[in-house]
Structure 1
Amino acid sequence: MDKIIQENERALCILKNEGEKTLKDLAKMLCITTEGARFQLLKLANEGYVKSESRAKGRGRPQQFWSLTKEGHAKFPNKHSELTLRLINKIKEDFGEETLSKIITSTGKDNLDNYRKTIAETDTLEEKVQKLAQLREKEGYMATFEKTGDGHFELIENHCPICDAASICQKFCSSELSVFQAVFGPNIQVERVKHILAGDRRCTYLIKEKSNT
């Protein structure tokens, strides 16, 4: 039973980090048979955590692509979500939007100070991206980074532990982007190219040196 639970959790983590997968691909990543993977996915589907979509690729038979449902994404914790939402609404109600914005900005400055303890100005751009990804991973963002084919970098966050709060106050997201820009400095461009709140599966930031032209 414990092994089944562990495999269920691994399947959810793979779909969270990697996005939709076919049965065959998921079985390979779990190192189990396709029948074993099918059993896991059907169990998770019955519990409401995953869903499948039939899609044709080329001339072959349609394939089933599996992905997380809203309930599946909710399996990954959002930090103190209910309490946070109550506090945000209370601050807005009693002190107004301006006070809430000042608090979020102040929190962003605290985060920046914390990041600067680890990320040095003398680090290369790749070292800075790597260290920021490691810090964000510790904060619960399931963060990784990749180097693109053109020498740029992507900071990828597969989970947002403050998503509920950000959904009612976009200032959280704008403050986050400002903090990232400050981490890398004025010669580096940081652009959010994918956004969970815009319907994307994850948040992705493109990080590159600014053009001299």
Structure 2
Amino acid sequence: MKNKLPDHERAVSILKAKGPKSVKDLAGEMDITTEGARFHLMKLEKEGLVQSESVVEGRGRPKQIWSLTEKGHNRFPDAHADLTANLIAMMRETLGQTAVDEVIGTHEKKTLSRYRKELEDTDTLEDRVARLTEIRTKEGYMAEYKKDEEGFLLIENHCPICTAAKACQGFCQAELNVFREVLGEAAEVERTEHIIKGARRCAYRVTENTR
């Protein structure tokens, strides 16, 4: 189905999902003219949603590369962010870290059970990676995967629980544990990029386990 978002919203979504881009590259992604893309970027810049920087590549003129500002990233939902972070802080203060760990453990077990049911009819590792990508996209992670010579790269361009994860990184470890379990013993899974540590996205390298 054709994307019916207004062009300026499409520009924000593309920069979120695919990272910083030049005006020319963004125009190509949006299938509009360079001047059209520049117009939308100027509008978004006035709203404080995007910013640009000059990047020198080789001997040519510097390129203007556009990316989202913090305000731009915040256009994407962080599910019940403040409430969740406050609840975690209060639980840690009143009940202790052990209670927080128990809640995260329960969440991990329930997520694992649900994912296993949704992946039970998959046969190959790629089937499982593809299905996991679909699940995570439905949950708001803007997920995608790429196949290459090393195996697969599972990418999450957005984290809808980022504030909660910053308050308690046990959520991130639980997520990695779940991925490793549902993708099976035939796969090795390592996180290679992490939003919490300043990356634009979270990424996971998935390779066949040859041991």
TM-score normalised to structure 1 length: 0.94
Within 5 A, what are the aligned runs for 1:108-187? 108-120=108-120, 123-150=123-150, 152-187=151-186
Contact 2:122 2:128 in 1 (8 A): no
Once the two structures are TM-superposed, the CA of residue 123 in structure 1 deviates from its matched residue by: 1.7
Q: Give the Cα separation in 2 of the matches to 1:55 and 1:186.
A: 43
Once the two structures are TM-superposed, the CA of residue 124 in structure 1 deviates from its matched residue by: 0.5
Contact 2:52 2:67 in 1 (8 A): yes
Q: Give the Cα separation in 1 of the matches to 2:106 and 2:154.
A: 23
Q: Secondary structure at the match of 1:91?
A: helix
* 1:205 correspondence with 2:204: yes
Q: Give the Cα separation in 1 of the matches to 2:174 and 2:121.
A: 21
Name the % identity: 50
Q: Give the Cα separation in 2 of the matches to 1:32 and 1:122.
A: 39
Q: Give the Cα separation in 2 of the matches to 1:55 and 1:209.
A: 37
Q: Give the Cα separation in 2 of the matches to 1:179 and 1:29.
A: 33
Bigger mean CA offset, 28-37 vs 129-138 = 28-37
Within 5 A, what are the aligned runs for 1:45-60? 45-60=45-60
- Which 5+ residue runs of structure 1 have no aligned equivalent? none
Please tell me the residue identity of whatever aligns with 1:205: Y
* 1:101 correspondence with 2:101: yes
Q: Give the Cα separation in 1 of the matches to 2:184 and 2:29.
A: 39
Runs of 4+ in structure 1 over 2 Å off: none
Q: Give the Cα separation in 2 of the matches to 1:79 and 1:55.
A: 35
Once the two structures are TM-superposed, the CA of residue 15 in structure 1 deviates from its matched residue by: 0.3
Once the two structures are TM-superposed, the CA of residue 121 in structure 1 deviates from its matched residue by: 6.9
Structure 2 counterpart of 1:25 = 25
Once the two structures are TM-superposed, the CA of residue 211 in structure 1 deviates from its matched residue by: 2.8
Structure 2 counterpart of 1:9 = 9
Across the aligned residues of Structure 1 and Structure 2, the Cα RMSD in angstroms comes to: 1.2
TM-score normalised to structure 2 length: 0.95
Q: Give the Cα separation in 2 of the matches to 1:34 and 1:209.
A: 42
Q: Give the Cα separation in 2 of the matches to 1:60 and 1:156.
A: 32
Once the two structures are TM-superposed, the CA of residue 118 in structure 1 deviates from its matched residue by: 1.2
Q: Secondary structure at the match of 2:134?
A: helix
Deviation sequence 1:146-177 (CA, Å, 0-9, x none):
10123x01110000000001111110101110
- Which 5+ residue runs of structure 2 have no aligned equivalent? none
